[in-house]
Amino acid sequence: MSRARAPAAGLKMLAQGSPDAEAPAVISVSLGDRSYDIQIRPGLRYRFADAIAPILTRPRVIVVTDETVAGHYLAMLEHQLRAVGVAVDSVVLPPGEETKSFGHLETLTARCLDLGLERRDTLVALGGGVIGDLTGFAAAVLLRGVAFIQIPTTLLAQVDSSVGGKTAIDVPAGKNLIGAFHQPARVLIDPETLNTLDRRQRLAGYAEVVKYGLIRDRDFFEWLEINGKSVVDGDRAAATKAIRTACAAKAEVVARDERDAGERALLNLGHTFAHALETAAGYHDRLLHGEAVAMGMVMAFDVSATMAWSTGQDAQRVRAHLESVGLVTDPRSIPGLTLTADTMMALMRNDKKVVDDRINFIMVRGIGDAFRTADVEDGALKSYLRSILN
Ligand code: NAD
Ligand code: GLY
């Protein structure tokens, strides 16, 4: 059967059926005494406090959020928590990647200490990956470690950054270079919070959804070929199913490889290329992380085909799907960016995935079958990059 076959009829039926039929609303991340659950339900925002209060060791939380998210969801969360007897303070930070900095870590931790934070108190991260990463890191170091709960409100954070305990800030030497593994006590996801998120951010997060299909779940990719547009458009059932499937995949990988010693690296499909593009673009709004990941995943499929590990048909199919929902896959479309193959090679060599001078890539044998390798030939890589960049 051709790899580029049309989606199976059964999947079309699934697309119309209940998303709850196969993807559970509560997913467990099994990590011994650090295990926690991820709850994913439309409308959960009206019941957040019911999911938070029972796991507090003291009825006191500090909610950390950004100005934009605060405008939509903070008052509701504070009101609910107070109604069930939980004392609440809130810290509202500016939105944007710049908030993941030493400066804001200092502001946040100082504010928590001023508010009299105690060891048994809990931080609540309400926002996207920026707020989640910063709050998680603050929780890891405050008083040598306090509990925190993730309430992710971007698609990227709901399918990736809120699960797995990677926390960090950015420093001039690079993104996410100062951080800690610190697992949340619970992750609460209401897919309907995506209704207030702008379409560009939803699209960027969607690239990370597709990633799970490409790494290890061809059926999910085929489901996305039919339903991806609905996910991006904020269709309640489609978004819920996609988030649950993605979280279930991430939970399994994290449970097997919490500290990123092996399998977890597969979650970086496309990321070595993406980080090089983001660095070249100056971590600027003209290229969001997920947008770079979409381009990077296509590059990983193209290079895998060049190395004869997979077929060019699969690469074309991935490109076609990403473009069909509105993602751009051609790096030459990044506004104001001129990038040569040599510069891109140099940027990739600076990535933290270089070991003994060899770049560790995630490559594919096909859709749903990713693997890690340091065997991509420099010559093949450079001539591919020349063909798409120069
Ligand atoms: P973000 O947190 O900057 O959010 C994007 C924008 O959307 C912000 O302006 C925010 O205010 C706004 N926003 C958030 N939720 C909203 C909502 N529901 N309605 C309206 N506006 C809303 O960006 P992001 O894409 O969520 O996260 C990016 C960060 O995640 C990066 O720093 C990246 O390094 C990190 N990340 C971490 C991991 C991990 O495993 N820890 C994984 C992937 C990415
Ligand atoms: N986002 C990659 C990871 O959590 O490992």
**Per-residue pLDDT tens for 258-286?**
999 999 999 999 999 999 999 999 877 89
Q: For residue 7, is pLDDT > 50?
A: no
> Over pLDDT 70: what percentage of the chain?
94
Rounded-to-integer distance, Cα 294 and Cα 210, Å: 9
Q: Which atom of ligand 1 is nearest to the CA of 67?
A: 11
| Average pLDDT value for residue range 53-67 | 98
Q: Which residues of 310-328 are buried (b: 16+ CB within 10 A; e: fewer)?
A: bbebbbebbbebbeebbbe
Residue range 248-261, pLDDT digits in tens? 999 999 999 999 99
Contact status, residue 77 vs residue 277, Cβ threshold 8 Å: no
pTM of the model: 0.94
Q: Whose CA is nearest to atom 2 of ligand 2?
A: 267
Q: Which atom of ligand 1 is nearest to the CA of 205?
A: 25
CA atoms within a 13 Å half-sphere pointing along the CA-CB vector of 358? 10
Q: If pLDDT is split at 50, 70 and 90, which confidence band does 239 have?
A: very high
Q: Which atom of ligand 2 is nearest to the CA of 268?
A: 2
- Among residues 42, 95, 9, 38, the alpha carbon closest in space to that of 238 is found at 42
Query: Ligand 2 pocket: which of 160, 252, 372 to mutate (most atoms <8 Å of CB)?
Result: 160
Q: How far is the CA of 124 from the centre of ligand 2 (A)?
A: 20
- Give me the pLDDT at residue 22, please: 61
- Give me the pLDDT at residue 200, please: 98
Rounded-to-integer distance, Cα 309 and Cα 237, Å: 36
Q: Whose CA is nearest to atom 4 of ligand 2?
A: 164
Q: For residue 12, is pLDDT > 70?
A: no
Residue range 200-230, pLDDT digits in tens? 999 999 999 999 999 999 999 999 999 999 9
- Give me the pLDDT at residue 133, please: 98
**How far are the Cα atoms of 57, 59, 147 from residue 120, in angstroms, in the given order?**
6, 9, 8
- Give me the pLDDT at residue 173, please: 85
Query: Ligand 2 pocket: which of 161, 208, 247, 263 to mutate (most atoms <8 Å of CB)?
Result: 161
> Over pLDDT 90: what percentage of the chain?
88
**Sequence-ordered list of residues with C-beta below 8 angstroms from that of 7, at least 6 positions apart, any chain:** 222, 223, 225, 226
Strands 60-66 and 87-93: parallel
Q: What is the largest CA-CA distance in the chain?
A: 65
Residue range 121-152, pLDDT digits in tens? 999 999 999 999 999 999 999 999 999 999 99
Q: For residue 16, is pLDDT > 50?
A: no
Ligand nearest to the CA of 168: 1
- Among residues 127, 132, 186, 129, the alpha carbon closest in space to that of 153 is found at 127
Strands 361-366 and 358-359: unpaired
Q: For residue 114, is pLDDT > 50?
A: yes
Q: What are phi and psi of 221, to 5 degrees?
A: -60, -40
| Average pLDDT value for residue range 105-119 | 98
- Give me the pLDDT at residue 3, please: 36
- Give me the pLDDT at residue 352, please: 66
Q: For residue 13, is pLDDT > 70?
A: no
- Give me the pLDDT at residue 174, please: 85
